[in-house]
Amino acid sequence: MNESLKCQVLVVGAGPGGYVAGIRAAQLGLKTIVVESDKAGGTCLIRGCIPSKAIIHAADRFDSLRKHSTEEGHMGLSVSGEPEVNMSALVSWKDSIVERLNKGVEGLLKAAGADLIKGWAKFDGPKSCNVRTSDAEIRIEAENVILATGSSHIDLPFMPCDEEFILSSTGALDLDKLPKSIAIVGGGYIGLEIGCALAKLGTDVTIIEGMGSILEIMDKEIRRPLELWLKKHGVAVHTDSLARGAEMKGKGASRKVELYFERDGEDHKVKVDKILVTVGRKPNTKGWGLENMGLRMDSSGRFIRIDRKCRTSIPGVYAIGDVSGEPMLAHKASAEGEMVAEIIAGHKREFDNVAIPAIVFTEPEIVSVGLTPNEAKERGEEVIVGKFPLAANGRALSLEAEKTGGFIRVTARESDHVILGIQAVGSHIAELHGEFVLALEMGSLLEDIAGTIHAHPTMSEAFHEGVLKTLGHAIHIS
């Protein structure tokens, strides 16, 4: 059965950018259709941010139990017997969270008045497409189109993922059995987050990274506590190393996979139960008729070109999220989706954010907002920098958050004390990012934060003290 529909706003993709755009457009009274081939929520909710954080939390709990099960116990607390990991049960718990949030997103779309169609859209023109559903083909013509098709895992052509022995992040989050050993190809945030969690659960982890260091997006000082944690917990890290291929070894239950990699011109190998490939993500620009829309790509040829209002080269066609460029972050996509819906409704908006927070949920967690000291200097700024250790914060001590060597670092312009950037590393530090972003978005001076009372005992006091340190008069460190 074929059907023809018309709407004011057509959103393709129901990820964190698309579903937000759909909800907001419908709230504003626009006839809105959202097309999604998978579950509403996108990669972030279904097989990325949310499931990985659930497994990271479970790994933290297990690691804590292991500390309490030692002969001397921990904190005066002890647990008899060795804790065990039931990976299939853990994954089932994770899936229950994902399902709850997926149903929640679908409910929000419906409550707002947006129509959700499950199927694959293929465009034959800039604002017209055919959608294949499970039992029909639907023709949709729209006044405005929002492309929110997201991104997908990058495969290595010489070592494609089979999700049995060579895994993508999707496969790593759906393991039915905890591997005794794993090699992670790619030392970026995805591989490191999963690697830290698996190490806590008891897996022997090896990281193969082609660059000179892991987590190259962060500066040396801020990633140092993570490097120390990996070393302390027996995670083998090989930098300046390039994966060259893999080969199956053994039979039956003893079957393993051997990863070959090159370092300093020499060949190396490691035999493991699983290989996880996390070498990046690519925008989803193929398979849905982009070539029929007449859109221009950016200078790299990878992303759809947009302006500060997310407008493409075709009037009435917008692109948001991963398909439109870096940073490929869920919260950036959501902000763009809300903005575009309001632009279509006639509001005056543009994407002019001072700072988009970047957070890495490793152990310890890492947060970066705004400029690092080096980035500020490269822009010609004369800066002052202050750093406050979590070891000097009472709440951090009570949470054992100081054990990772964490700190908060504040960078400000020397002449007028405008805050330019904040970086932090430490357990539980991610939850402070909101204050960091707000400080930059409001154009705060160091004195604005210094004059703000922070409740005691909280970890937010460490930010206050970091600002005082930048001003040269921190209270709780000399």
Mean pLDDT of 102-107: 96
DSSP state of 188: S
Percent of the chain with pLDDT over 90: 89
Q: Across all residues in the chain, what is the average pLDDT? A: 95
How far does CA 265 lie from the centroid of its chain?
A: 33
**Alpha helices of 202-243 — where are they, by DSSP H?**
220-232
In this prediction the pTM is 0.94
pLDDT tens readout for residues 342-390: 999 999 999 988 899 999 999 999 999 999 999 999 999 999 999 999 9
Report how far apart, in Å, the C-alpha atoms of 143 and of each of 18, 21, 128, 257, 268 are.
17, 15, 9, 52, 57
Domains within the chain, CATH numbers bracketed: 2-50+90-152+282-344 (3.50.50.60), 166-279 (3.50.50.60), 358-471 (3.30.390.30)
Mean pLDDT of 77-99: 93
Assess whether pLDDT exceeds 80 at residue 468: yes
Q: Which two tokens stand for residue 3?
A: 């059907």
Confidence at residue 251, expressed as pLDDT on a 0 to 100 scale: 85
456 catalytically annotated: yes
The answer to whether residues 35 and 132 touch, using CB atoms and an 8 Å cutoff, is no
Rounded CA-CA distance 288/275 in Å is 31
Confidence at residue 72, expressed as pLDDT on a 0 to 100 scale: 82
Q: Which of 53, 133, 115, 139 is nearest to 430 (CA)?
A: 53
The answer to whether residues 225 and 426 touch, using CB atoms and an 8 Å cutoff, is yes
Assess whether pLDDT exceeds 60 at residue 1: no
At 99, the pLDDT band (50, 70, 90 cuts) reads very high
**Which residues on neighbouring strands pair with residue 237, listed in sequence order?**
207
Report how far apart, in Å, the C-alpha atoms of 429 and of each of 94, 387, 461, 466 are.
23, 14, 12, 14
List strand residue ranges (DSSP E) for 324-413, in order.
Answer: 358-360, 365-370, 383-389, 407-413
pLDDT tens readout for residues 285-329: 999 999 999 999 999 999 999 999 999 999 999 999 999 999 999
**Under DSSP, is residue 96 helix (H, G, I), strand (E, B) or coil?**
helix
Rounded CA-CA distance 92/416 in Å is 53
**Under DSSP, is residue 171 helix (H, G, I), strand (E, B) or coil?**
helix
Report how far apart, in Å, the C-alpha atoms of 419 and of each of 102, 413, 432, 444, 470 are.
38, 6, 16, 6, 10
The residue with greater pLDDT, 180 or 69, is 180
**Which residues on neighbouring strands pair with residue 142, listed in sequence order?**
7
Rounded CA-CA distance 401/394 in Å is 10
Confidence at residue 250, expressed as pLDDT on a 0 to 100 scale: 87
Assess whether pLDDT exceeds 90 at residue 402: no
Confidence at residue 303, expressed as pLDDT on a 0 to 100 scale: 97
**Catalytic one of 456, 464, 473, 476:** 456
DSSP state of 358: E
List strand residue ranges (DSSP E) for 195-350, in order.
Answer: 204-208, 236-238, 241-249, 256-263, 266-272, 274-277, 281-283, 317-319
Helices 87-112 and 18-27: crossing angle in degrees, nearest 10, is: 30
Confidence at residue 196, expressed as pLDDT on a 0 to 100 scale: 97
